[in-house]
Amino acid sequence: MLLQQTGQAGVRKVFDLRRFLYVLALTGAVLLLPTPVGLSPEGHQALALFVFTGSILALTPAPLPISALMVPIAQIALGIDTASGAFAPFSQPVVFLILGSLFLAEALRKHGVTRRLALYVIVATRGHFRALLFGIMLIGGVLSMFVLNTATAAVLIPVAVTIAQRVRQREDAKRALALLILGIGYSASIGSIATIVGSGANVIAAGLLAQVVPFGFLDWMKYGLPIAVVLLPASWLLLMQSIRIPNISIDIQPAIDEIKQLGGVKGPERETVIVLGMAVFLWMTGAQIESALGLPATLLSSAVIAIAAVALLSIEEIVDWNDLRGVNWGVLFVIGAGLTLGDALDKTGASEWFAGLLSPMLEGLPYWLILAVLVGGAFALTQFMNNVTLGAILAPILVTLGGASGISPERLLLPTIIAVSLAYMLPSSSARMTLVAVTGAVEPKDMVRAGLIVGIPSALFIFFFFLGLSYLGAI
């Protein structure tokens, strides 16, 4: 029997038995095949888990978080590991880093920090819409560097609705709202490129990469931040070309009045900003401070800082458990599923087997061609598959492939995962675009058109950026 629930869109299926049977059929087919040459029986089982993970996260017979939780269960059922081993990756520090990020985003929303920033942008731009759009995208980009990109989009979309309501002409207001909401979705994705904490796919990739090479918060930023700095204004310009709008202005007096009513930044609002600022500072400098002061290793690691920041907000009664219950816990399960798959492929030797098959194909190929295939393939696939899911599937293979082929894992993994962030064209491509779609403010054809106009040049820039780094010997 199919369980059902009623939501805004009406009655929809929560569990699709037919899709689940497809997942089981694909997994069973892999198990029934003879064990490939060079692969151990355990590796064959991990290969089946790889197919199970890819199919259940792509077909989502149950909501994505529940589908993700089936991955460790499948690992146990296939005899790859016990329950303690299968669920161990869910406790990796990067999972708690994202958890802390979600809690910080809730604190920003609760105390109106994001709304205040938007009011300042309205006044600073004198209500000129094009400058206002850039200002809102700048807020989205900066926030999503340090809180999860989906959480950033969720707290800014209501602000966009309020702004569009102040546009006098109805048709102009409709176009303005579409631009604002798309701008928020894109800027949240772009900002998340800059740091590990911005995206679930980044977390999975960085967690797996750190197991083979020293890799931390600043290591990611030195690649991701320059890309984000270029893509944000470029995407703003391209977005305005995709949906044309006349020069319009909105009345800034209501924003001025609201700022006066709010007064200066004080109380919980100020403390939230201070705690976030301290967390960002320690994320970037924690390792150096540990070394300089002789502190215990990892005491100032990113995950510890994130949880400590949330604990401080709780002690100061800025957030409480009722606030934190509403965050998007499901993303943690998807990240855990990706880490679980990577762990299973690694400990059974399946990753090495995959790498042994693929690495001969890379021999003799120039890096520019490999890079073109990775970035182009990731950009194409992420339009149809949830970007975190895609990152969870690709990351463990690329990390091992890098070692087996003699190519530094960063050169394969980073451009691929960053390109996965350009999930712009369809609601299914990312949680941000799902939020954009459910507002009803953006027509499907406009979402696809804008996604192409903004996404293709962005993917090309990522390709040339990493190609340039390669020629300079910087990666």
8 A C-beta contact, residue 52 and residue 391: no
Domain boundaries, the chain: 4-91+329-472, 93-272
State whether residue 11 is helix, strand or coil: strand
Q: Calculate the dihedral angle through the C-alpha atoms of 311, 317, 319, 323, rounding to the nearest 10 degrees.
A: 120
Query: What CA–CA distance (Å, rounded) separates 151 from 105?
Result: 6
Residue with tokens 């970037």: 284
Full pLDDT tens readout for the chain, 475 residues: 333 332 333 334 578 889 999 999 999 999 999 998 888 999 999 999 988 988 887 788 888 788 889 999 999 999 998 999 999 888 888 788 878 888 888 888 888 887 888 888 888 888 889 999 999 999 999 988 988 788 888 888 888 888 888 887 888 888 889 999 999 999 999 999 999 888 888 888 888 888 888 888 888 999 999 999 999 999 999 999 988 888 888 888 888 888 888 888 888 888 988 998 898 888 888 878 988 888 888 888 888 888 999 899 888 888 888 877 767 677 778 778 878 887 888 888 887 787 777 777 777 789 899 999 999 989 988 887 777 777 877 888 888 787 667 788 889 999 999 999 998 987 767 778 878 887 888 888 888 899 999 999 999 999 999 999 998 988 8
- pLDDT one-digit tens code per residue, 398-429: 887 876 677 888 899 999 999 999 989 877 67
119 close to 255: Cβ distance less than 8 angstroms: yes
CA–CA separation, 281 vs 303, rounded Å? Answer: 13
The closest of 59, 57, 91 to 74, measured between CA atoms, is: 57
pLDDT for the residue numbered 9: 35
pLDDT value of position 134: 94
Q: How far apart are CA 50 and CA 252, in angstroms?
A: 54
Query: What CA–CA distances, in Å, run from 123 to 163, 247, 261?
Result: 12, 17, 14
CB atoms within 10 A of CB 25: 10
pLDDT at position 10: 35
What residues have CB less than 8 Å from 249, skipping those under 6 apart?
Answer: 126, 127, 128, 129
Nearest to 108 by CA among 145, 152, 68, 149: 152
Q: In whole angstroms, what is the distance from residue 29 CA to residue 326 CA? A: 40
The two structure tokens encoding residue 341: 């798959």
For 291-352, strand residue ranges (E) read none
- Put residue 79 in one of left, alpha, beta given phi > 0 → left and psi -120 to 50 → alpha: left
11 strand-pairing partners:
6
319 near 110, Cβ under 8 Å? yes
What pLDDT does residue 24 have?
Answer: 94
Q: List the Cα angle 232/237/241 in 5-degree steps.
A: 140
Which residues make beta-bridge pairs with 310? none
Scan for tokens 């204004």, then name that residue.
233
Residue pair 378/390 in contact by the 8 Å Cβ criterion: yes
What are the residues facing 425 on neighbouring strands? none
Evaluate whether 397 touches 342 at the Cβ level (below 8 Å): no
pLDDT of residue 361: 75
Structure tokens at 10: 């009406």
- What digits encode the pLDDT tens for the residues 243-300? 888 888 888 888 888 888 888 888 888 898 899 889 888 888 887 898 888 888 888 8
Cα 368 to its chain centre, rounded Å, is 26
The answer for residues whose C-beta is within 8 angstroms of residue 165's C-beta and 6 or more apart is 173
Residue matched to tokens 């970035």: 375
Distance CA 51, CA 11 (A): 30
pLDDT reported for residue 28: 93
Task: State the pLDDT at residue 1.
Answer: 33
What's the pLDDT score for residue 404?
Answer: 66
